[in-house]
Amino acid sequence: MKKVIQSFYYDAVPAQDRDELINEAWLHIRNVRDHLIQMTDFTQMNDAPITREKKLAFASYRQALRDLPQNFTNPNDVVWPEKPTS
């Protein structure tokens, strides 16, 4: 079944399938987010070879990553925070 909305065609997806797709999208976002956090773990160590300002910038970046699922209701609208330069 196809529906027309503002001249765009799309296949109608049953609600259960749509919910499953949304859950899979959130799972993917969380996996990417967890990887990005893991890749910056070293920036929060006491002996990290970065300035205090960079450490704070990375702490803010990591918090923004953690907050992604709470700040967006639709996984297609997620805007990834910009990673600080090291």
Per-residue pLDDT of the chain (86 residues; tens, 9 = 90+): 444 445 555 566 677 787 888 889 999 999 999 999 999 999 999 999 999 999 999 999 999 999 999 999 999 899 999 999 87
Determine the pLDDT at residue 4.
42
Determine the pLDDT at residue 17.
81
User: Which H or E run includes 66?
Assistant: helix 52-71
Amino acid at 38: Q
Structural contact between residues 2 and 13, judged by C-beta atoms closer than 8 angstroms? no
CA trace torsion 48, 53, 55, 56 (10° rounding): 160
Determine the pLDDT at residue 72.
93
What does the domain layout of the chain look like in residue ranges? Answer: 14-77
pTM: 0.76
- Phi, psi angles (nearest 5°) of residue 11: -80, 130
User: Which H or E run includes 7?
Assistant: none
